[in-house]
Amino acid sequence: MTEPVSLYPAIELLLLAADIDNKPQAVQELYARWQSLPRDASAPLYPLPAPGRPLRPTLVPPDTVPRRGVGTPEGHAALIHAIAHIEFNAINLALDAAWRFRDMPDVFVDDWLRIAAEEAEHFLLLRRRLQALGYDYGDFPAHNTLWEMAQKTDHDVLVRMALVPRVMEARGLDATPPIQHKLRSMGDLATVAVLDTVLRDEIGHVRVGNYWFSVLCDARGLDPLATFRQLLRDYHVSELRGAYNLEARLDAGFSEFELTMLQDFAVIREAGEKTSNASAV
């Protein structure tokens, strides 16, 4: 296969790649050399129904993903598999941001290709942990919620920055410490150490999303807080419930006031859903 000689075809080639044995390393190599490739904005751009992914795992609705007790070998592996699946999707999300939003400056491209490379490293680390337990990526069903949000936000970089890194990925900051606690109680310190790396890097990824969201709001003369709150309503965002990792979110660039707003928004939304459900009975 002939190597692309400009940036966007090079990103697209990897975005559509489905080979999990080679894709992560190729993403890391692209980040190392992308500045040597010209940015040719005339390269085709189109809605992307799905990025490259292997035939397995089978994708199912989120509420049908089997729940397994983590105290069993299968449940232990399924938990790690779920995180590996998020990281694989995150590779494609970062590549898509760099590929799709072509009016953004070089530093934006560098941010998202770096993030893609870091997500690739996370996937490799988690896949090795799965293999050490006698499993591999694809052995368990998974859902497609993260990529579905990418499709909903592919028309506007501001909306993408608001709802993918600042909502979907930020939930990973909240979820990781409790998962580490479970794994530590099982004696799986090797995966706990991998998740230390993942959490550290993901704080940086959410910080990048916060930065670009603020920059874009400023460029458009929008109030960031009011805009974010409206987008949460417009897109019916539900990924706000549960405990927040406040320290990590503050480190990632959320303000204390904004975190209070998010928590209040989640409570109000949950109360509204309970009222609707009660009325429907």
Between residues 235 and 240, which one has the greater pLDDT? 235
Mean of pLDDT values over 116-135: 98
Average pLDDT of 251-276? 74
| pLDDT at residue 278, as a whole number | 40
**b/e per residue, 209-219, with b = 16+ CB within 10 A?**
bbbbbebbbee
Q: Give the other-Cβ count within 10 Å of 82's Cβ.
A: 19
**Domains of the chain, earliest start first:** 7-36+59-275 (1.20.1260)
Q: How confident is the model at residue 267 (pLDDT cuts 50, 70, 90)?
A: low
Q: pLDDT tens for residues 145-178?
A: 999 999 999 999 999 999 999 999 999 999 999 9
Average of per-residue pLDDT values in the chain:
91
Distance, CA of 8 to CA of 95 (rounded, Å): 10
Give the whole-angstrom CA distance, residue 109 versus residue 34: 9
C-alpha–C-alpha distance, residues 91 and 209, integer Å: 15
pLDDT of 277 reads 44
